[in-house]
Amino acid sequence: MTLCTNIGVIGKNIRSNNLWNPFYGASVSAGSDVSVSHSRLLTTNQQYLAAFKRTFSGHTIDVLAGYESYNYKYQYLYGWNKKIYNPTVGELDNCIYGLNPSPVASSYTNTYATQGFLGRVQYDFQEKYFFSASYRRDASSRFAPENRWGNFYSVGGAWLINKEGFMKNLTWLSTLKLKASYGMQGNDGLGNYYPYLDQYSVGNNNGEFAVSMSYKGNRDITWEKSQNINAGLEFGLFNERITANVEFFNRVSTDLLYNLPVAPSNGYTSFPMNVGAIRNRGVELEIGAAIVNTRDIQWSLSLNATHYKNTILDLHESVRETGIKGSRFIYEIGGSLYDSYYREYAGVDPESGLAQYYKDVVDEQGNVTGRELTTDYSSATQYNNGTTLPSLMGGFATSLTAYGFDLSAQFGYQLGGKIYDFGYEELMHNGQSSMGGTNWHFDILNAWTPDNPNSNIPRLNATDDTQAELHPLPGKLKLSGVNNVTLGYTAFLKKWTEKIKGCQITLLCYRRQSLGILGKTRLGSRQDFGGTDWAKDLSAYSALRTISGSISITF
């Protein structure tokens, strides 16, 4: 038996003084400003484990049991004052304005803790049959004491088929493994350290306390649970020259933690709840191949692909019929977490050049009877525009080494799905003052004019209300991009290094990243998929290229 104790401590202590210039600039009229902040972070992680392992008659059993805890404490203090006396001292007491009125000061402390008991058993027989089981009981301080504990477990097994006697004549098959597992995990993240408690802000009302609710808690919330089923097949051919792994997965998450939007008339705008269930189901494939493997040349290829579907199975009864709708997303039973929710662009009014949108026509009973066009963006109807999830996504890579040269490349791709091209949208702005200094896309030259009435791009007028939804989702992508290309040359200078073992000199390494995407609609930069936000900061630049060299000597 082995006993083990692991204790980790992280501490951070940060103080910051900021002093604004009193001689010129925005702070001159106030006699300069001073702010002082101090933060302190302390986390401790404790783990106590007992392990037992024994092998007998081809059987191996490995047992682990333990206890672990995590504690987090963050303290923050901030103060601000102005009209300084000595322009070189950035301290609050070097100011006089704080005498009347009082200086700005604030402080807060956040704490968080978890603890849990764990157990695990692993077993194999003759390294052919494998079985494992685990159990955890965890508690989180984010939940009320009566809902704090959750139980989580997993079981799994594998069969190394190629070690069976009836497989011994298949010498070309080096590995064949069948595997399956089922497990449950928990999640307590909800963006608040005390979501089960009502929280208030304290203010001043003519010298009296003024208390307002800042967060509405819910004592009934508990762990979000995810149940996972995985089943797969691994195989290797020709002494692992070709390897592959195919895996099916089905993950159902229940009691989803969510800040449910509510009417502001309640005195708060959201309410933490366990609201429903979602399912992720799909297939993953990984293939690798060593195509050439000689003394002077090595060439390998690898490919991975994932197809999965996200489905909302249930929502809280208060939103079960209507769904949850945001500015650009919608959650409905039968839909996904990645459905886009936009006003639909309907082209340009050829008479006025104004952008047009679709609007539902509703009868007196509230039933939708049809659609009509409107140039009033605010009155246009938002629609579910479909999923942004691709039908297939993944990557492939290749690596080639030959006579001192090495070349590698990685590619990413996604087929299907929709994205909203925010980069293009920002370059197609209408010239409003907030976009001053921002370039236009070349397509703006085709904007509507009286001489170009059939354009699909509205007139260029800074007062028109043309929103992001103006430009439709660009459709299915064919190839999402080249992620990384590296080229290098390594010289082995034997004449100079006969007496130095393992002398390697890399004369040149060239690396290029984020080469762009090839899409059905246009070339551009790669964008993430999601139901809420795919905005790209046009002032940010991705990594372009790197040239480097190195010398490595081993004695």
Question: The tokens of 354 are what?
Answer: 């104004």
Q: What single string gives the DSSP state of each residue in 351-373?
A: TT--EEEEEEEE-TTS-EEEEEE
Other beta carbons within 10 Å of 417 = 20
**pLDDT, position 232:** 97
Helix (H, G, I), strand (E, B) or coil at 191: coil
- What number of residues does the chain have? 555
Q: Which pLDDT belongs to residue 507?
A: 53
Place of tokens 């484990």: 49
> Cα–Cα distance between 136 and 185 in angstroms, integer?
9
Give the Cα separation of 443 and 458 in Å (integer).
11
Q: What is the 3-state secondary structure (H, E, C) of 482-505?
A: EEEEEEEEEECCHHHHCCCCCCEE
pLDDT number for residue 27: 78
What pLDDT, on a 0 to 100 scale, did the predictor assign at position 15? 95
How far from each other are the two terminal CA atoms of the chain, in whole angstroms?
Answer: 40
**Residue 32 backbone zone (phi > 0: left; psi -120 to 50: alpha; other: beta):** left
What per-residue confidence (pLDDT) applies to 536?
A: 41
State the pLDDT at residue 472: 38
Q: Is 432 helix (H, G, I), strand (E, B) or coil?
A: coil
Contact 343, 383 (CB under 8 A): yes
Residue 544 confidence (pLDDT): 56
Q: Each residue of 428-486: pLDDT tens digit? A: 888 888 777 888 888 899 999 999 999 989 998 888 876 544 343 333 334 445 566 77
One digit per residue, pLDDT tens: the chain, 555 residues?
A: 899 999 999 999 999 999 988 888 777 877 888 999 999 999 999 999 999 999 999 899 999 999 999 999 999 999 998 888 898 898 988 888 765 566 688 999 999 999 999 999 999 999 999 999 999 999 999 999 999 999 999 999 999 999 998 988 898 999 999 999 999 999 999 989 999 999 998 887 888 888 888 999 999 999 999 999 999 999 999 999 999 999 999 999 999 999 988 888 888 888 999 989 999 999 999 999 999 999 889 999 999 999 999 999 999 888 888 888 887 889 999 999 989 888 888 889 999 999 999 999 999 888 999 999 999 988 999 998 888 888 888 989 999 998 878 888 888 887 877 777 777 777 888 888 877 788 888 889 999 999 999 998 999 888 887 654 434 333 333 444 556 677 776 655 555 555 555 555 555 565 555 545 555 555 544 445 453 334 344 444 455 566 666 665 555
pTM of the shown model: 0.78
